[in-house]
Amino acid sequence: MKAYHVIGIMSGTSLDGLDLAYCIFSNKEDYWNYQIHTAETIPYSTEWEKRLKNLPTASAQDYAKTHTDYGHYIGQETNKFIKKHHLEIDFISSHGHTIFHQPQNGFTAQIGDGASIAAETGLDVVCDLRSLDIALKGQGAPLVPIGDRILFSEFDYRLNLGGFANISFDGNDKTLAFDIAPANIALNYYAKKAGHAFDENGELAKQGVLIPELLEKLNALAYYHKKGSKSLGREWLESEFIPLIDPSYPIPDILNTLVNHLSHQISIVIDKSTKKNSQILITGGGAYNSFLIDQIRAKTNARLVIPSDNLIQFKEALIFAFLGVLRVENQINTLKEVTGAKRNSIGGAIYKGK
């Protein structure tokens, strides 16, 4: 039995912090097993949060320096994680933090220099997992579906409620996957305007009332009517989504409407392909938003499965660790049927630690 001991590293668009997951993968007769052995989220300091948030409008020089500095930061935090938990590691697989995602313009950018991580840790590093797919005219996203298909095939739908909600499911002998709509990136944005880091359990949204005209505007956005491979980024949120929301609306009403909007868009996707007794695996921070979960449950017929805290919080880090395993194995880790690229590919750069 072949086994890999890997640290998967992920930073989401919600800026919650740096996720590190020590995962063990074993393969026997072409069947992969996984275990999230130890995992942590390292909250960003005020300085790092501000730096990452402001980077899209910084100078090219600041961007290049932050890319390198952030790589050293990831490496240093990884060293602390390894020492704290007495871990033996084969390699690191790091997604980094997305600053730009513009596949329509032929580029995406995740900071967190792999060379700097390798230099700090002395371990091999797999990184830059999206660029090859973009070069092949794909969306560079979502990348998670191949991991979903291999590691979570028992579920009909795999729904992640992170910064953006994304979903993967299998149909007609192929995997379908895409970003659905803004989730925590929008909910947290408005919760912070009310003095909260996030809307715990959806309590603020529950206190609000639906704004019908806003819901109608949001549901009419062109993205939701686009067919085929598609993905969302911060740029779309800021240019297309946020401007539709009148800042004079009460924050609880905005949050209530956003939850209704998100759950509606999720229900459209699921209702189009639902099967009797379908199961939806729900992960990501939104799984803790009980008001959002109740709205999804009310709008769909499928059974919602909320897994362990480790899987809710660290499924993406787990899968990015697994994409690194596939890269090291020289196996396909990016699906053209999902991203719209010219071909399947083996994405990721490798930096040698020694």
Of 159-173, 192-206, 208-222, 233-247, the poorest mean pLDDT is in 159-173
- Quick check: 339 pLDDT over 90? yes
pLDDT of residue 296: 96
DSSP H or E segment with residue 328: helix 309-328
- Predicted confidence (pLDDT) per residue in 5-33, tens digit: 999 999 988 788 999 999 999 998 889 99
- Predicted confidence (pLDDT) per residue in 39-84, tens digit: 999 999 999 999 999 999 999 999 999 999 999 999 999 999 999 9
**For range 114-142, the mean pLDDT:** 97
SS3 of residue 309 by DSSP: helix
Instruction: Determine the angle formed by the axes of helices 212-219 and 251-273, rounding to 10 degrees.
Output: 40
**For range 237-256, the mean pLDDT:** 98
Which superfamily is assigned to 2-140+329-351 in CATH? ATPase, nucleotide binding domain (3.30.420.40)
- Topology given in CATH for the domain delimited by 145-310: Nucleotidyltransferase; domain 5 (3.30.420)
Q: Two tokens at 160?
A: 């992640």
pLDDT of residue 272: 62
Distances (CA, A) of 45 to 51, 52, 197: 10, 11, 14
Q: Is the pTM of this model over 0.85?
A: yes
- Predicted confidence (pLDDT) per residue in 261-285, tens digit: 999 999 999 876 666 678 999 999 9
Distances (CA, A) of 258 to 59, 182, 288: 33, 9, 16
Q: Please give the mean pLDDT across all residues of the chain.
A: 95
Q: Of 101, 109, 115, 41, which is closest to residue 71 (Cα–Cα)? A: 115
Percent helix, strand, coil in the chain (nearest 5)? Answer: 45, 25, 30
Could you tell me where in the chain the CATH 3.30.420.40 domains are found?
A: 2-140+329-351, 145-310
